[in-house]
Chains A and B, each alone.
Chain A
């Protein structure tokens, strides 16, 4: 085979492999049949409509939304000052702190979930929702620190000194001249964190108990019982939601600069 054919072929296969499943899901969700199948049998929107009537989906969607928004917000509340301190001051063990903060990216979610369940939830009887919230905060924190650090490093530190010499306190300088200049970095971190948290499976899997389930976990258990195309319809809707968010972020913030 010549490279002339070989290269486009590899490219085609890679792209097909990456986004093919997405098209399959979308097609399957528009099926007129009763079971999840590809190619779809007939065309209908009934499964898309059904998604909105399943009660457990509504509950778990709300939980996932709350976790994603609350966890990401908490991660930013911790992550922005942390990034600021790491980038502006020579902290003792600064590198170590950076590594520890990045750990949740490196350690497999399954291990984090199991560890939290075995050593926190079970022995201390900690509330599941609270644990889920803490776990999601920890998972998002590395992204928050990395993205916010990137935009802080692009910002010269002498503007803070300039603000101080014009009469501002150190803290005032942070809010008046640092925050406004890293706003798009913070928004980018929020979006990345939101998507990460919303799509999170392995950690949530261990921590989902009766009554408290995130949407991806709920979809897994729904499929075990009811094998109809509504799961595909929901997946497609969520995928479109993520695409929409990232598209808006790219459009207004130049999102890809930060990731």
Chain B
């Protein structure tokens, strides 16, 4: 993996007629990287992918791939593969012919086509299905055919639009490993779209969190999970106690609250996961409003002058009674510091 950008999007703006779907997007991806686009529905993930593939031409900005400006290169000459969410297999062709489709267009010798398709089908575990039609395959199998069809083309970048969303939980896990293995084996640069933070965290080298057609945060899974920089990302990855900070003071229900530790001046907010809240001691007082047991932990909902607080404790500890008063702390050193709150 070299440090020079392999694929870069520069000030990319994408629009459908007058509706701007993605605005001024800057992103660069290294060769061999596995990147996840994560974000809520309608934030522009598919739109961005389609423009990288060449199916949508940008209103402004540039796309560069492997040292060349491909902004105006047509989709069939880009060496970018796209696995569609709906698979988009050709219903009239067998599995073998689906995978061979692009190779035949390249006019490769028949023997080479044969061997590449066979290898491609083998790598997704579908060697025995080459004579079937797509209609005779399960969803997961169709998806793997679509993957093989793109992979045999040896694209410079492989894009996958929600590759796992149509699968049941077990298959999803299986395909996750599959994708990771294929990516590691071939070293192909890969971008995949997902709604699911767990999927992004476990698969990606880097995660791009998008919101309303712009990038909210880019970082490693650790960055995103532990150091979200905005309220949106914090909320998205499970920080449930989020407060704005103004002038070094926490903005809470009953007015500003002084914090013990010191904060960098650009702190716009602080966020704590339920398990970061200290229960039983601390400067704040609250009442237990409800509790729920989830196997290894117990989660409490507290009524406090700061507003509702969610806290979590090891289930091995004694349960706290609903209605009882409790002291607690929000330790500043554990909190995620948000630079953007809004």
Per-position binary interface string of chain A over residues 174-209, scored 1 when its CB falls under 8 Å from any chain B CB and 0 otherwise? 001100110000000000000000000000000000
Verify A163–B90 contact, CB threshold 8 A. yes
Interface stretch (choices B25-33, B100-108, B325-333): B100-108
Nearest Cβ in chain A — how far from B219, in angstroms?
Answer: 29
Interface residue range, chain A: 10 to 19
| Residues from chain B with Cβ under 8 Å of A158 in the complex | 84, 86, 88
A79-99 contacts to B, CB under 8 A, are none
On whether the beta carbons of A177 and B76 are closer than 8 Å, the reply is no
A162's nearest neighbour on chain B, judged by CB, is B88
Task: Check B91–A165 contact: CB distance below 8 A.
Answer: no
Q: Knowing A161-B55, A163-B101 touch, does A169 contact B76 (C-beta < 8 A)?
A: yes
Question: Taking each of A162, A169, A177, A181, which has the highest tally of chain B beta carbons within 10 Å of its own beta carbon?
Answer: A162
Asked if B105 and A166 make an inter-chain contact with CB atoms under 8 angstroms apart, the answer reads: yes
Contact of B149 with A166 in the complex, beta carbons under 8 Å: yes
Indicate if A159 sits at the interface (CB-CB under 8 A). Answer: yes
- B104 smallest CB distance to A (angstroms): 9
Complex interface: chain A residues within 8 A of B78 (CB): 165
- One of A161, A162, A167, A181 near B106 (C-beta < 8 A): A167
**B80 close to A (CB within 8 Å):** yes
Evaluate whether A167 and B91 lie within 8 angstroms (CB atoms) in the complex, with A158-B86, A161-B55, A162-B84 already known: no
Q: Which residues of A contact B101 (CB under 8 A)?
A: 163, 166, 176
Q: Which chain A residues lie closer than 8 Å to B149 at the CB level?
A: 162, 166
State which residues 76-118 of B face A: CB under 8 Å: 76-78, 80-82, 84, 86, 88-92, 101-102, 105-106
Q: Is there an interface contact between B105 and A167, defined as CB atoms closer than 8 Å?
A: yes
**Hey, which chain A residues are within 8 Å of B84, CB to CB?**
158, 161-162
A168 sits at the interface (CB 8 A): yes
A4: interface (CB < 8 Å): no
Docked CA distance A169–B82 (Å):
16
Question: Which residues from A are CB-within-8-Å of B53?
Answer: 165
Partner pick for A159 among B75, B76, B88, B105, CB 8 A cutoff: B88
Chain A residue nearest to B83 in the complex (CB): A162
Give the residue among B82, B88, B150 with the most A Cβ atoms within 10 A. Answer: B88
| Cross-chain contact of A164 among B76, B86, B150 (Cβ < 8 A) | B76
**Which of A163, A166, A172 contacts B153 (CB under 8 A)?**
A166
Instruction: Say yes or no: A181 contacts B105, CB within 8 Å.
Output: no
CB-based nearest A residue for B78: A165
Residues of B within 8 A of A167 (CB): 76-77, 102, 105-106, 153
CB distance from B3 to the nearest CB of A (A): 29
State which of B76, B80, B82, B88 has its C-beta within 8 Å of the C-beta of A168: B76
The residues of A that contact B55 with a CB separation of less than 8 Å are 161, 164-165
Q: Is the CB of B92 within 8 A of A164?
A: no
**Cβ of A98 to closest chain B Cβ, rounded Å:** 22
With most chain B CB atoms within 10 A of its CB, the pick from A163, A166, A176, A177 is A166
Contact B75 A165 (CB under 8 A): yes
Whether B80 contacts A156 by the Cβ 8 Å rule is no
Chain A residues with CB under 8 A of B88? 156, 158-159, 161-162
Cβ-neighbour of A177 out of B81, B86, B90 (below 8 A): B90
Closest chain-A Cβ to B93's Cβ sits at a distance in Å of: 8
Docked Cα-Cα span, A172 to B76, in Å, equals: 11
Residue on B with the closest CB to A160? Answer: B88
- Alpha-carbon separation in the docked complex, A159 to B88 (Å): 5
- The answer to whether B105 and A168 touch across the interface, beta carbons within 8 angstroms, is yes
**Cα-based distance from A161 to B81 in the complex (angstroms):** 11
Between A and B, 27 residue pairs with Cβ closer than 8 Å are: A155-B91, A156-B86, A158-B84, A158-B86, A159-B89, A159-B90, A161-B55, A161-B82, A162-B89, A162-B90, A164-B75, A164-B76, A165-B75, A165-B78, A165-B80, A165-B81, A165-B150, A166-B150, A167-B106, A168-B76, A168-B105, A169-B76, A172-B105, A177-B92, A180-B92, A181-B90, A181-B91
- A interface residues with partner B (beta carbon < 8 Å): 155-156, 158-159, 161-169, 172, 176-177, 180-181
- Top 10 nearest A-B pairs (CB, nearest first) are A166-B102, A162-B88, A158-B88, A167-B105, A180-B92, A159-B88, A164-B75, A164-B76, A167-B76, A177-B90
